Chain A
Amino acid sequence: MKKGNWLEYQKEIADDRYYYVRSCIRQNFFPGSEAAFLDIMRNVLGKDVCDDPNHTSCTGIGYHSDIVPVETTMTVVARQFAMMTAAGYENLAPSCITSFGLYQEILDMWHHFPDMEAKAREMLYKATGREFDKPKNVAHASDIIFHHREEIARQAKYRLVDAVTGKSLRGVEHIGCHYAKVFPDKGVGGAEFPYVLAGMIESWGGTVVDYPERRHCCGFGFRNYLVMANRGYSIANSKKKFESMAPFKPDFILTNCPGCPMFLDRWQYAISEMEGVTYGEKGGIPVLTYEELAGLVLGRDPWKLGLQMHQVPVEPLLDKLGVDYDPGAKYLGKDGKYIGKPADTMLSNCYCSPM
């Protein structure tokens, strides 16, 4: 693999004034990541990001499990564009990779079939009285963090190096399938050499480790996870990835799709319960979202980033980074309220930091 090949696939990423579109899955499982994105954009980078309460799901999970017709989905997407237009923004910044792929798919479809765009406009107007401009720029939130990665590096409190040995930490990345497989020219580095996450790891002092199944799907598979009887598909795909990456002894897994970190986190737990197999050195390989990693290097409190919501313990990574954190505050609620803590499991999140 030639390291420079990703340079052939560059994409335009707007510099400021983003209309943020939240992700159903990321909000459910990683609400701290979306909060961290807004915090970093506004308070670290000084950018204008609109967090509009009036947008909704794009219907993407329903669309890709084939219960929502394309005409419906494209009109809901048209409504998102209408909300962006009404708020006075032109740069769409989706938090979700399924949504990001879907926005690209619909814009491409309208380009090839202008009558579909006309139909979407007509149906949206009929249903809501709304009109819209298409976005000038569509960049996934990970593209935006990638775009500003050097400024984040300049303001970083920690670098991705082992605080004791000074060695660069080893990260493996997993890119959401719909980031660049649907439209390779819409992703930084395309489908073969995606650089969006690798670029962050490198800029922040880490080393990106290649592994054979790097491009393999995490196994969400929409209906394949949603329906219990089909979940064997999902765990089998994640397992294939763990077995491929584990020999390279990664310190962490970095992801940009909302679903992937949840599956890569939970399936490590399920495999440990089902087969007694744990990947990584101490209780699993920590899986991070790019917002969490950016927040950590910027010195944010891990529990404010939501790292206590992971099943695989993150403390081994925090300890390697030399992050200053309070182990006793991990499971406390707002203002230090005691709200119990998770039960112990084989792959337990109740990891005790070596003192």
Chain B
Amino acid sequence: MGKYYERLKEDVRFIEALNSCMNCGVCTAVCPAAEFYNYDPRQIVSTVQTRNEEAIESLLKSETIWYCGECMSCKPRCPRGNTPGGVIQALRTLSQKEGFFIESEKGRQQLAVKRTIGENILNTGYCIIPKTVAPDMHPEQGAVWEWIWEHDQDIFECFTENYRQAGAGAMRRINEDCLDEVRRIFDVTGGTAFFEQIERQSEEAARQMGMDSHSDQYIGELFTANNGEHFRE
């Protein structure tokens, strides 16, 4: 009894995000994700509020919890002081802890985010670095970015003395001692274990699809797969 709901309550963000929902739909009206996807934050908050374990389990396995953009536009608008985006954060965290994220196309993308943003943080101390915004994966970045990407050293040195070097400034190389501190924080706080869980579950997901989670084929699939059923009519 109460397994998933109780686990959601272990997340302080969930406690802060859910008071009581009166199903007014204001969050859905203001939500940019609801305009684009088959997505209704009102329904999600309402479902969680019923504490129906089966319904919560289906949410944890669903596509719908992965549509939110975490813009938090819903937070100042909810007349009951709820934050649907915060409920989503707690659901996504639990979905990954339980291994349910691999049951949806959008959920499986967590490995792609971990492999890019997650590894950037541990390896460089930044969420993104110029060289990882490759024009072939980012055609929308345009010709100017392509020129910057190809001449990054020449362009960045116009604005900083220390591009990819020790010292202060934009896109400096963050020193190993600082990076070690960040890595130890990940170890001590569960961040490393969370990454490992994403990797482990994704191995299983890839196997079920006849692929290897470390192959370019699987990562390519994560970045590009689209079953066409996510969008509003």
Q: Do A and B bind each other?
A: yes
Residue numbers of A with Cβ under 8 A of B are 22, 24-25, 27-28, 31-32, 34-35, 51-57, 59-62, 64-72, 75-76, 79, 101, 109, 112-113, 116, 123-124, 126-128, 130, 177-178, 180-182, 184, 190-192, 215-217, 219-224, 226-233, 235-237, 240, 266-267, 269-270, 303-304, 306, 308-311, 331, 333-334, 337, 339-345, 347-349
Distance, CA A190 to CA B75, complexed state (A):
13
The verdict on A339 contacting B170 (CB below 8 Å), with A66-B96, A228-B137 known, is no
Query: Are B147 and A341 closer than 8 Å at their CB atoms?
Result: yes
Distance, CA A109 to CA B147, complexed state (A):
43
The residues in B between 148 and 197 inclusive whose CB is less than 8 angstroms from any CB of A are 148, 150-151, 154-160, 162, 166-172, 174-175, 178-179, 181-182, 184-191, 194-195
Query: Are B66 and A223 closer than 8 Å at their CB atoms?
Result: yes
Query: Are A181 and B144 closer than 8 Å at their CB atoms?
Result: no
CB contacts (< 8 Å) of A70 on chain B: these are 11-13, 89, 93
Distance, CA A232 to CA B160, complexed state (A):
34
Query: Are B170 and A34 closer than 8 Å at their CB atoms?
Result: yes
CB contacts (< 8 Å) of B92 on chain A: these are 66
Q: Is B225 located at the chain interface by the 8 A CB criterion?
A: yes
CB contacts (< 8 Å) of B140 on chain A: these are 231, 235, 266-267, 269-270
Query: Are A28 and B146 closer than 8 Å at their CB atoms?
Result: no
Give the residue among B118, B130, B140, B157 with the most A Cβ atoms within 10 A: B140
Distance, CA A151 to CA B15, complexed state (A):
44
The residues in B between 171 and 230 inclusive whose CB is less than 8 angstroms from any CB of A are 171-172, 174-175, 178-179, 181-182, 184-191, 194-195, 198, 222-226
The interface size bin for chain B is 35 or more
CB contacts (< 8 Å) of A72 on chain B: these are 185-186, 189-191, 194
Distance, CA A116 to CA B16, complexed state (A):
13
Distance, CA A70 to CA B185, complexed state (A):
12
Tell me the smallest distance from the CB of A272 to a CB of chain B, in Å: 10
The verdict on A181 contacting B72 (CB below 8 Å), with A53-B172, A61-B127, A66-B89 known, is yes
Query: Are B169 and A51 closer than 8 Å at their CB atoms?
Result: yes
Contact of A228 among B13, B127, B224 (CB under 8 A): B224
Contact of A226 among B66, B76, B117, B160 (CB under 8 A): B117
Q: Residue of B at shortest CB range from A27?
A: B170
Distance, CA A20 to CA B188, complexed state (A):
27
Give the residue among A52, A116, A177, A190 with the most B Cβ atoms within 10 A: A177
CB contacts (< 8 Å) of A266 on chain B: these are 140-142, 145
The verdict on A67 contacting B113 (CB below 8 Å), with A72-B191, A227-B223, A333-B155 known, is yes
The verdict on A228 contacting B223 (CB below 8 Å), with A66-B93, A184-B76 known, is yes
Q: Is B6 located at the chain interface by the 8 A CB criterion?
A: no
10 tightest CB-CB pairs across the interface, nearest first? A221-B69, A72-B191, A31-B170, A56-B125, A61-B127, A342-B147, A127-B184, A31-B159, A333-B154, A217-B71
Distance, CA A342 to CA B141, complexed state (A):
12
Q: Residue of B at shortest CB range from A348?
A: B143
The verdict on A57 contacting B121 (CB below 8 Å), with A67-B110, A343-B146 known, is yes
Q: Residue of B at shortest CB range from A83?
A: B178
Query: Are B112 and A344 closer than 8 Å at their CB atoms?
Result: no
Distance, CA A53 to CA B226, complexed state (A):
41
CB contacts (< 8 Å) of A334 on chain B: these are 154, 157-158
Give the residue among A28, A109, A269 with the most B Cβ atoms within 10 A: A28
16 contacts between A and B (CB under 8 A): A28-B133, A31-B156, A34-B159, A56-B125, A61-B127, A67-B113, A68-B118, A70-B11, A116-B12, A231-B140, A233-B67, A235-B140, A309-B148, A334-B154, A345-B143, A347-B142
Query: Are B113 and A227 closer than 8 Å at their CB atoms?
Result: yes
Query: Are A233 and B69 closer than 8 Å at their CB atoms?
Result: yes
Distance, CA A345 to CA B139, complexed state (A):
12
Query: Are B128 and A35 closer than 8 Å at their CB atoms?
Result: no
Q: Residue of B at shortest CB range from A25?
A: B128
Q: Is B28 located at the chain interface by the 8 A CB criterion?
A: no
Tell me the smallest distance from the CB of B86 to a CB of chain A, in Å: 9
Could you say which of B19-27, B32-40, B47-55 contacts chain A? Answer: B32-40
CB contacts (< 8 Å) of B151 on chain A: these are 333, 339-340
The verdict on A233 contacting B76 (CB below 8 Å), with A27-B170, A61-B128, A70-B11 known, is no
CB contacts (< 8 Å) of B144 on chain A: these are 308-311, 342, 349
Q: Is B64 located at the chain interface by the 8 A CB criterion?
A: no
Query: Are A219 and B170 closer than 8 Å at their CB atoms?
Result: no
Give the residue among B112, B116, B121 with the most A Cβ atoms within 10 A: B121
Distance, CA A236 to CA B33, complexed state (A):
10
Query: Are B174 and A56 closer than 8 Å at their CB atoms?
Result: yes
Distance, CA A31 to CA B142, complexed state (A):
18
Tell me the smallest distance from the CB of A79 to a CB of chain B, in Å: 6
